Structure 1
């Protein structure tokens, strides 16, 4: 007989961490953030800037999405999903 607590939780497995909803959302925000940032840096025209009142919306939206992705990754790293130990 072991002295282990039957209600003990274990660290998340690699698969559960990979498919955590926060990770999926972070990847989506990061992909779209990179695309918008690159479009803002290299794809904007002067007419687009004039329509937006002189603000490069693609650039700032892309940077904002990258920040949100970093927040989700940080949240997932600091508060990982704990799984219950399998019954023996």
Structure 2
């Protein structure tokens, strides 16, 4: 028996299209590249005062990346199932309408 009065659909989440996931992934990729450059690259510590800037910047980017991805997982954006259409607003331009062909 199917009861159509109760809708028990799970809420739809933004998922991969959440901007926090995109930012976290980009920062993570750049962080890994910088960390690897800091570990395996040329150590020019005289330019940075004896600090491996690539390594520390890469590690910081990886931490920020983990924060963004964790934030997106713990508090996901829920996409509403129904969107209320706005009332007619005279300040908004009307949608472009197709004009009939001129003969």
**Both structures adopt the same fold (TM-score exceeding 0.5):** yes
Partner of 1:19: 17
- 3-state SS of the aligned residue for 1:50? coil
More helix by share: 1
Gaps of 5+ in 2: 84-103
Distance 1:78 1:44 in 2: 39
The alpha-carbon deviation at position 32 of structure 1 amounts to 0.3
Partner of 1:51: 47
Corresponding residue of 1:77: 73
Output the TM-score relative to the length of structure 1: 0.80
**CA RMSD, Structure 1 to Structure 2 (Å):** 2.2
Which deviations, in whole Å up to 9, do the C-alpha atoms of 1:10-68 show, x marking residues without a partner?
Answer: 141xxx311110011001000000000000000022xx101100000000000000000
Structure 1, unaligned stretches of length 5 or more?
none
* Segments of 4+ moved more than 2 angstroms: none
* Cα distance in 2 between the residues matched to 1:41 and 1:71: 23
Residues 1:10 and 2:11 aligned together:
yes
